[in-house]
Structure 1
Amino acid sequence: MTIRQLTAPHAVLLEEPQQGLPQTSEMIRGERFRILEERDGWLRAENAFDGHAGWLPPGTAHREPAAPTHRVRALRADLHPGPTHKAPPVATLSFGSLVTLDGRAENGWVGTDDGLWLFAGWLEPVDAPAAADHIATALRFLETPYVWGGRSSFGIDCSGLVLTAMAGAGIVSHHSSGMQRKDERLGAWMSDDGRDVAYRRGDIVFFPGHVGLMVDGATLLHATVFTMSVVVEPLAEVVKRAEINGVRRPHHVIDGSART
């Protein structure tokens, strides 16, 4: 079994080893993956983060795994060739990307093990405590473009937003709204149709082929093709377009550890 680590800022996972086919998910810098198959330069990869498998295009940069020391906590973070904002960035990392620092530090900048530099304020240690409020994490993605199969600040879909927000709270699920609907790790099942639910901040609301997060008792945050972006809108408006087919309440919302 061959384990590799993504060094590209992000990479698509496709349904089949062919350009132009639908993206099923995305990997971000520093994530490890298991190579399941190789075909004409394409790699069928299983992401260790969430277990999602798909095809990585030829030329996707990866390496032998190194232990990450820090995670990008900014929505996006530029990699610079020197420890200064005046050096034009050479790449941009998404929220959640993993990096390994090499011990260099200068004027608030820190060096990475590939010889580049990041502003230290964009990072947190990989063992930093999980976020208490997954909605605060999700709200940072407002106006991010909708991208089918995306789960980064470069582009994200509905289940990718839920996956990312809940992972920030220490709960990793699936990159699929249908699988998330069935996943008890995401919380207690509250309703099959949303009726008679006194919604709370943090509730996860499911629709056929779609999912969103409640910001408060009446407002939904979701990545939607309706606007091709991450937006906040009244739940009542979303229900005019699609019927609710499930509601989950994360356990940290039930026990009150999520901030409101």
Structure 2
Amino acid sequence: MNAFDPRLTAARPDIAAAHLRGTVDAKAFVTPQLLRVTAPTAPLRREPVPDAPLDTEALAGEPVAVYEEREGWVWGQLLRDGYVGYLPAEALGRPSLPPDHAVTVPRTFVFPGPSIKLPPLSALPYAAEIAVAATGPAPFARLADGGFVFARHIAPLRAWRDRDFVATAERFLGVPYLWGGKTVLGIDCSGLVQVSLRAAGVNWPRDTYRQEQSPAAAPVAGGEQGHGLARGDLVYWKGHVGIMVDAERLLHANAHHMMVVIEPLIDVVERSLSRGGWPITSVKRLAFPKTAGV
């Protein structure tokens, strides 16, 4: 088989995406069915077993190209960031309506009826996307596929854009570090950047190396030496990323504190170098281009 990144290419020796015919070798080429995540979150794993490593999480409303379903798992590709892997089949489906609202708080409950006294059905994470059938009875909104959410915890997708993505990231302070995580139950460094930029209208890659290579962000001259830094700059190391909250302090999810913290950038640099780690490889600044959502 030709060389490719299996995390981003829908191809295995036995099956591959139809659009890859002539590019990769596979026994069969398949046209996908388009589904969306209907559970609050869906873990995407490297193998179709529940204890396989977590590569990332897909949030409610995310579109998924599904190429295979077998024994309770689907093998597919997330259409927003291109990640390929295995997701629980029960977490995907075809909603009755496309998403038109997003969750704008760290976590909100879905109730079976318009009452906070009822046992919640589930809890939706920040940036989950849902379809609203009706507003009311106050203070709730009724979801198209069942359940009620507190109306002030959601916003129409067309209005859900906050260019201050740093303020969004700051809402995750204290959240535990989780490799592959993207919610307040656990998040990693690149997931924090991706989710925060999603709220700003930017569909950002998932991995640090792809983020760093994105043409949507320009290098900051002298940034690797700590010069000219500003709020919102993205600081990259090999395998790590953080967000500057001002000219001196970095916000990042990290395995040293095992949570999201703000600390002086110089402390992060010195700690990395003292342990034989990598120096800063680049500092990037976004111009917030308009991107088409899916």
Does the TM-score normalized on the shorter chain lie above 0.5?
yes
Question: What are the residue-to-residue correspondences of 1:33-72 with 2, within 5 Å?
Answer: 33-64=64-95, 66-72=97-103
Q: Is the 8 A contact 1:191 1:248 kept in 2?
A: no
Give the aligned partner of residue 245 of structure 1: 281
Question: Are 1:178 and 2:227 matched, yes or no?
Answer: no
Q: Is 2:190–2:208's contact at 8 Å kept on the other side of the alignment?
A: yes
Matched AA of 2:287: H
Cα distance in 2 for partners of 1:59, 1:129 equals 28
- Per-residue displacement from partner, 1:235-256 (whole Å, max 9, x unpaired)? 111101222111001125xx9x
* 1:197 equivalenced with 2:233 (yes/no): no
Larger Rg: 2
Deviation per CA, 1:135-178, whole angstroms, max 9, x where unpaired? 01111111111111111222110000111111211111211011
Deviation, 1:92, is: 0.4
Specify which structure has the bigger relative contact order, considering alpha-carbon pairs within 8 angstroms and separated by 6 or more residues: 1
Report the CA distance shift for 1:87/1:190 in structure 2 as closer, same or farther (over 3 A). Answer: same
Deviation at 1:59, TM superposition (A): 3.4
**Aligned residue in 1 for 2:195:** 164
TM-superposed CA distance for 1:37, in Å, is 2.7
1:209 aligns with 2:239: yes
Query: What aligned pairs does 1:69-80 form with structure 2 within 5 A after superposition?
Result: 69-80=100-111
Deviates more, 1:240-249 or 1:58-67: 58-67
- Contact 2:222/2:228 (<8 A) preserved: no
Q: Partner of 1:88 in structure 2?
A: 119
Q: Could you tell me how far apart the structure 1 residues matched to 2:135 and 2:287 are?
A: 41
> In the aligned structure 2, how far is the partner of 1:142 from the partner of 1:162?
13
Q: CA deviation at 1:28?
A: 0.8
In structure 2, what residue type is equivalent to 1:141?
F
Q: Structure 2: how far apart are the matches of 1:104 and 1:169?
A: 25
Aligned to 1:98: 129
| Superposed displacement of residue 33, structure 1 | 0.6
Q: Which residue of 2 aligns with 1:140?
A: 171
**Paired position in structure 1 for 2:39:** 8
Runs (5+) with no aligned partner, structure 1: 256-260
Matching residue of 2:248? 218
Deviations 1:51-70 (A, max 9, x none): 22211035334335631121
Partners of 1:25 and 1:54 within 8 A in 2: no
Q: What runs of 5+ residues in structure 2 fail to find an aligned partner?
A: 1-31, 273-278, 290-294
1:258 equivalent in structure 2 = none
Pairing 1:230–2:273 present: no
Aligned to 1:154: 185
Q: CA RMSD in A?
A: 1.8
CA contact (8 A) 1:52 1:174 kept: no
Q: Does the residue aligned with 2:155 lie in a helix, a strand or coil?
A: strand
Identity %: 36
Calculate the TM-score normalised by the size of structure 1.
0.91
Normalized against structure 2, the TM-score is what? Answer: 0.81
Q: C-alpha distance in 2, partners of 1:213/1:85?
A: 36
